[in-house]
Amino acid sequence: MGDAQGAWVLVDGENIDATLGGSILGRRPQPDERPRWDRILSFVEKTWQQPTQGLFFLNATTNLPMTFVQALVALGYKPVPLSGPSDEKIVDIAIQRTLQALRDRDEDVMLVSHDGDFADDMRALAGGRRRLGVLAFGEFRNTGFITIPGLETYDLEFDAGAFDAPLPRVRVIPIDEFDPTQFLR
C-alpha cells in the first residue's frame, strides 16, 4: 500500500481546536495544551515511512495570526489562510477541494479532523494503492469514516503523542493495553 511519492497531511485546525476546547477541556485551550503540530508531521512520516508535507487550513477572514503562521512555516507546514463569507465553512470547502484535487494524484493522505463532511471525499480516494488515514481524538471522530475501505485511524494523543501532558479524556481501553497502575494513582 502507498507509494514512495510521499504523503499529504491536511489539518483542519479549527475542528481540532473546537473539539479539544469544547468536548475535552470544556474551555478554550491554553497554548501549552494545544497539539504540538510538528509531532503530527513526524508521526505520519515515521508511521508511513515516507516524506510528508503538511497543509494547515486557517480561517483568516477577520484576522491572520502572523505569529502562528510563521510558527507553522518553521515547523514545515504550508499555511493555507482563507477568507470568505461568515455563513460559509471556508476551511471545510478548501479541504474538500484539496481532497478532490488529490484524486488525480498518487500521494497518500492523512486528514487531521473529526468532521464527517470529509467522509465522501475520503471515500472517493479509497480503493487504490494510496494509504488513507484520519488522525483525531478517536471518541469524537465522525462515524462516517468507519465505512471507508482501508482507512487507517489514529489518535492524536495516544498514537501521535501530540500533547505534552495527558488530556482529561475517558476512552475505551482494549484489554491488551490495560494498565491498572494508570488508575491506581
Residues 65-104: tens digit of each pLDDT: 999 999 999 999 999 999 999 999 999 999 999 999 999 9
Residues facing 132 on adjacent strands: 109
CA dihedral 10→83→121→125, nearest 10 degrees, is: -40
Phi-psi region of 150 (alpha: psi -120 to 50; beta: other; left: phi over 0): left
Q: How confident is the model at residue 173 (pLDDT cuts 50, 70, 90)?
A: confident
Judge whether 47 lies within some domain: yes
At a CB cut-off of 8 Å and minimum separation 6, what does 75 contact? Answer: 37, 38, 41, 54
Q: What is the predicted pLDDT for the residue at 67?
A: 94
The three cell numbers locating residue 57: 487550513
Residue 183 clears pLDDT 90, i.e. is over it:
no
Q: How confident is the model at residue 11 (pLDDT cuts 50, 70, 90)?
A: very high
Q: How confident is the model at residue 171 (pLDDT cuts 50, 70, 90)?
A: confident
Judge whether 1 lies within some domain: no
Residue 103 in contact with residue 127, Cβ under 8 Å?
no
Q: How confident is the model at residue 19 (pLDDT cuts 50, 70, 90)?
A: very high
Host domain of residue 44: 7-182
Residue 165 clears pLDDT 90, i.e. is over it:
no
Judge whether 2 lies within some domain: no
Q: What is the predicted pLDDT for the residue at 2?
A: 46
Q: What is the predicted pLDDT for the residue at 1?
A: 45
Residues facing 154 on adjacent strands: 135
At a CB cut-off of 8 Å and minimum separation 6, what does 20 contact? Answer: 29, 33, 34, 35, 137, 167
pTM of the entire predicted model:
0.91
Q: What is the predicted pLDDT for the residue at 3?
A: 44
Residue 21 clears pLDDT 60, i.e. is over it:
yes
Tally of domains within the chain: 1
Mean of pLDDT over the chain: 93
The three cell numbers locating residue 4: 514512495
CATH code for the domain in which residue 164 is found: 3.40.50.1010
